[in-house]
Amino acid sequence: MIAETAPVDIDERAHVRVVGRMDTRGTGDPFPWARLGTPALLRYARGWTRAGQWTADGRRFAALRTRSSRTASSSAEPRRGRR
């Protein structure tokens, strides 16, 4: 699994609603949202292990893998030899 994380150790949760520029009433029901730094994400990731971390265009990412043996479906790598 790949997750985008905040650049600092933060653990922030809220219920949010999608709104438009002109219509600030929002559409649909509020839904849970979280903003986590990598350390907070790893504290909650029971059953997962860190597989990597990187930054791209100022955004931070963490890759997690289940602790069980790696399978083809758990890889973010493209499959080779298949069309």
In a domain, 81, yes or no: no
Q: What is the pLDDT of residues 62-74, one digit of tens each?
A: 999 998 755 545 5
Q: What is the pLDDT of residues 4-44, one digit of tens each?
A: 999 999 999 999 988 877 776 767 789 999 999 999 999 99
In a domain, 37, yes or no: yes
Place of tokens 């438009």: 20
Query: 3: which 2 tokens?
Result: 């997750």
In a domain, 78, yes or no: no
The whole domain housing 51 covers: 1-15+32-67
∠ CA 60-49-64 to the nearest 5 degrees?
40
In a domain, 76, yes or no: no
In a domain, 74, yes or no: no
Q: Give the chain's domain count.
A: 1
Using CA atoms, how far apart are residues 30 and 46, in angstroms rounded to an integer? 27
In a domain, 77, yes or no: no
